[in-house]
A and B are shown apart, each in its own frame.
Chain A
Amino acid sequence: MAGRTAPVVLAGERVLPVQEALAPLLAEGGLRRGSVLMVGAGPGFAGAGATSLALALLAGPSAAGSWCAVVGEVPSLGVAAAAEVGVALERFPLVAVPAAARPGVWASVVATLLDAFDVVLAWPPPHLRAAEARRLVARTRERSSVLVLGAGPGRWPERCEVSLMVAGSEWVGLGRGHGMLAGRRLEVVATGPRAAARERRVRLWLPPPPSRSPQASEEVFRQGGAEPLGSAVAR
Chain B
Amino acid sequence: MRATRLAVMWCPDWPVVAAGQEEGGGGPVVVLDHGRVLAASAAARAAGVRRGLRRRQAEGRCPGLVVLAHDPGRDARAFEPLVAAIESTVSPSVEILRPGLCALVSRGPSRRLGGDAALAEEVRRVAGAAVATGPAATGPTATGPTAGVVVRVGVADGRLAATQAARHGPHGVVVGPGQSAAFLAPLPVSTVAADLQGRPGLADLLLRLGIRTLGELAALPAASVLARFGPEGLTAHRLACGLDDQPLAARPVPPAMDVTLELDPPPERIETVAFAARALAVELCEAMASRGLACTCVRVEAETEHGDRVARRWRQDTGGQAGAAALAERVRWQLEGWLTATGGITRLTLVPEEVRADLGRQLGFWGGDRAVGDRAARALARVQGLLGPDAVVTATLTGGRRVGDQARLVPWGEPPPARAAGRPSWPGRVPPPAPARLHAPPLAVEVVDSGGTAVGLSGRGTATAGPARVSVAGSPWCDVVAWAGPWPLDERWWDSTARHRRGHWQVLTADGIARLLVLEAGRWWAEATYD
Contact = CB atoms under 8 A, between A and B. Distances in A.
A81 B530 CA distance: 9
Given A98-B387, A232-B510, A51 B394 contact: no
Given A98-B387, A115-B379, A177-B484, A80 B403 contact: yes
A47 B531 contact: yes
Contacts of B513: 46-48
Interface in B484-531: 484, 506, 508, 510-514, 528-531
Nearest to A94: B393
A179 B484 contact: yes
Interface stretch (A28-36, A84-92, A124-132, A214-222): A84-92
Contacts of B376: 67, 69, 91, 93, 116-117
Contact of B514 (A117, A178, A181): A181
B393 A230 contact: no
Contact of B482 (A65, A84, A90, A176): A176
B437 A51 contact: yes
Contacts of B375: 115-116
A154 interface: no
A95 B387 contact: yes
Nearest to A116: B379
B409 A74 contact: yes
A62 interface: no
Contacts of A197: none
A95 B390 CA distance: 9
B431 interface: yes
Contact of A47 (B366, B379, B529): B529
Contacts of A52: 436, 530-531
Nearest to A114: B379
A115 B391 CA distance: 18
The range of chain B's interface size is 35 or more
Which label, helix, strand, loop or mixed, suits the secondary structure of the B interface? mixed
Given A51-B531, A94-B393, A78 B383 contact: no
Interface in A94-140: 94-98, 101, 105, 108-109, 112-113, 115-117
Interface in B322-381: 366-367, 369, 371-373, 375-376, 378-380
B406 interface: yes
A171 B406 contact: no
Nearest to B433: A207
Nearest to B407: A79
B392 A93 contact: yes
B139 interface: no
Contacts of B434: 78, 80-81, 83-84
A204 interface: no
Nearest to B479: A232
B391 A95 contact: yes
Given A67-B376, A112-B379, A75 B438 contact: yes
A93 B380 contact: yes
A81 B436 contact: yes
Given A84-B432, A232-B510, A176 B466 contact: yes
A10 interface: no
B464 interface: no
A163 B269 CA distance: 46
Given A93-B380, A230-B508, A78 B483 contact: no
A190 B467 CA distance: 36
Contacts of B393: 74, 93-96
A230 B484 contact: no
A50 B531 contact: yes
A169 interface: yes
A113 B437 CA distance: 23
Given A74-B393, A89-B396, A109 B466 contact: no
B386 interface: yes
Contacts of A6: 366-367
B395 A230 contact: no
Contacts of B511: 44, 47-48, 233-234
B382 A112 contact: yes
Given A67-B373, A75-B438, A95-B392, A171 B433 contact: no
Interface of A: 2, 5-7, 44-52, 55, 65, 67, 69, 73-84, 89-98, 101, 105, 108-109, 112-113, 115-117, 169-171, 174-181, 183-184, 207, 229-230, 232-234
24 contacts: A6-B367, A50-B531, A73-B437, A76-B439, A78-B403, A78-B436, A79-B406, A79-B407, A80-B434, A81-B435, A83-B397, A93-B376, A95-B391, A95-B392, A96-B387, A96-B393, A97-B387, A101-B387, A177-B466, A180-B431, A180-B484, A181-B506, A181-B514, A230-B508
